[in-house]
Amino acid sequence: MNTYTPEDLVLYLYHEMEAPRRVALEEALEIDWTLREKLGVLKTTLQRLDRTLESPRTEVILNILRHASSTQVQTVR
């Protein structure tokens, strides 16, 4: 029985695992519910990270806009 690390699962999720190892992992996923659970947690985490990197929180944008509107515009001569 193979032992899979979190790094192995990340390689699998990003389709960067070599074919023989990928096939073995897929077979292990069929019979090992804890491995499936770990893969599910990693998959959810990666999806959240991707979503987080796409745009800042609304609160951050509003704070920037409030700060920008509260500062005086200075002209350079």
**Alpha-carbon distances, residue 55 vs 15, 26, 52, 61, 65 (angstroms):** 25, 34, 6, 10, 15
Domain boundaries, position 56: 6-70
Q: What is the pLDDT of residue 6?
A: 94
In a domain, 1, yes or no: no
Does the pLDDT of residue 73 top 80, yes or no? no
- How many domains would you assign to the chain? 1
Are 9 and 39 spatial neighbours (Cβ–Cβ below 8 Å)?
A: yes
Task: Let me know if residue 77 belongs to a domain.
Answer: no
pLDDT number for residue 52: 61
Q: Is residue 11 situated within a structural domain? A: yes
**Which has more confidence, 17 or 68?**
17
Residue 37 domain flag: yes
pLDDT tens digits for 9-34?
999 999 999 999 999 999 999 999 99
Q: 29-54: per-residue pLDDT in tens?
A: 999 999 999 999 999 998 888 776 66
Residue 1 has pLDDT above 70, yes or no: no
Contacts by residues 42-49 (CB-CB < 8 Å, ≥ 24 positions apart): 42/6, 42/9, 42/10, 42/13, 43/13, 46/10, 46/13
